[in-house]
Amino acid sequence: MTSPQALPSPQPLHHGMARRVLWTIGACVLIALFLMTMLGHPLGPGLVYSLSIGLSCWALIDVGRLLVARWRLARNPGDMPAAQGWPGWGWMGTLIVFGSLVGYLGGGRLGAWLNGHAPGQLDPLHEAAGISIAPMLMVTLTVGLVLTAFQSLQSRRLLAEAEAEAVRRLAAETRLKLLESQLEPHMLFNTLANLRVLVDLDPPRAGVMLDHLIDFLRATLQGSRVAEHALADEFDRLRDYLALMQVRMGERLESRFELPPELAALPVPALLLQPLVENAIRHGLEPCVDGGRLTVRAAQFDGRLRLTVHDTGVGLDGAPGAGTQAMPPGTGFGLDQVRERLRTLHGDQAQFTLQSGPEGTQACVELPMPAALSSSNPGEPAR
């Protein structure tokens, strides 16, 4: 069963109303043409009568349907058919009979008045043709049933689409939660492995690293409890992590951060860049005897947010200049996790690439930006 949070929003009262009015007017025009062709009624007065009756019936049936659906939804927010404007056949049968009878009688008198006849005169054209009220009322009921059946089919289609969308959204949210929950132990295990190596090599530095680890985990685990946070917070978490790595690598690790002030408050998925920084250190800088520099940069380019992690290490496959890979498969859990989170959150609107050149490796993530921010500052491409 779909969770309450995944239920579709109720339709506004006017949703689809213009389309149903046009259907009603079309049916009224056909009836007027039929009366003119088969019974010799003048088209103008016949159209006035037909529209008066048809629109009166529509107002009573269709508006009544939406009001009853809204009442049912207020009593039971989980009533998905009511959320799509369908009150059920029991209520619809009552509304069709009531709306057809009252709409025919009231609309007929309105049409007579608009055609210049006495207010109490029901339908002089029908009387002149010898047509009684009963057959015309049956025609009105039949048209009402046909239009209602069409509305029922449409409501079922909308309901099925809403349920399918709710299931897709719930599955995406569940998959995203799983990915985020997997990131925390992965990140912790990598850090503890680094600490274990340092304990044997340099116990005093291992103690300093352990203090940094406690502070880092406290801040990071708090940040990982939210789906997204400000880009400035993401950069702060990376600074904490690189402070840890600095204790182990010493002068072999140089870090640099470039975050324009206008992008600092922009929301991004929490811990999105953490696996990219880990990958850059583990596969780029650590294998390099002299270490190198790691640069984390944010920039706005062509209406998109571009986040890059660049290291001056050994490059992809241990060979500088190994080329470019767009979302490469099999590069480890961390990059797979970034790839899946981007796909879940943004679909085809997000991009993830790895590029290796003479100066090391660059991981690049591009995300869509809010329209207001992207139009206010075109930004510069990351270098």
Nearest to 307 by CA among 268, 279, 335: 268
| pLDDT averaged over every residue in the chain | 75
Summarize pLDDT for 64-81 with one digit per residue, the tens: 888 888 888 888 876 767
| Weakly modelled stretches of the chain, pLDDT under 70 | 1-16, 39, 78, 80, 83-85, 118-137, 139-140, 144, 147-148, 151-152, 154-155, 158-159, 162, 170, 172-188, 190-191, 219-225, 316-333, 371-383
In the chain, where are the structural domains located?
4-169, 202-376
Give the span between the Cα atoms of 232 and 301, in whole angstroms: 18
Query: In this structure, are residues 311 and 293 in contact, taking their beta carbons and an 8 Å threshold?
Result: yes
| Domain 202-376 of CATH type 3.30.70.20 | no
Query: In this structure, are residues 170 and 3 in contact, taking their beta carbons and an 8 Å threshold?
Result: yes
Only one residue has tokens 């069409």, namely 150
Could you give the 3-state DSSP secondary structure of residue 205?
Answer: helix
Summarize pLDDT for 110-119 with one digit per residue, the tens: 887 887 775 5
* Residue 40 phi, psi dihedral angles, 5° rounding: 75, 20
Tell me the whole-structure pTM to 2 decimals.
0.51
Question: Which residues 6+ apart lie within 8 Å of 342 measured at CB?
Answer: 350, 351, 352, 365, 367
Query: In this structure, are residues 276 and 340 in contact, taking their beta carbons and an 8 Å threshold?
Result: no
Give the span between the Cα atoms of 268 and 316, in whole angstroms: 27
DSSP secondary structure letter of residue 321: T
Give the span between the Cα atoms of 59 and 25, in whole angstroms: 12
Summarize pLDDT for 211-260 with one digit per residue, the tens: 877 877 776 666 656 778 899 999 988 998 888 888 778 889 999 999 99
Q: 360 - beta bridge partners?
A: 357
Q: What is the pLDDT of residue 205?
A: 77
Question: Which residues 6+ apart lie within 8 Å of 350 measured at CB?
Answer: 342, 343, 365, 366, 367, 368
Could you give the 3-state DSSP secondary structure of residue 357?
Answer: strand
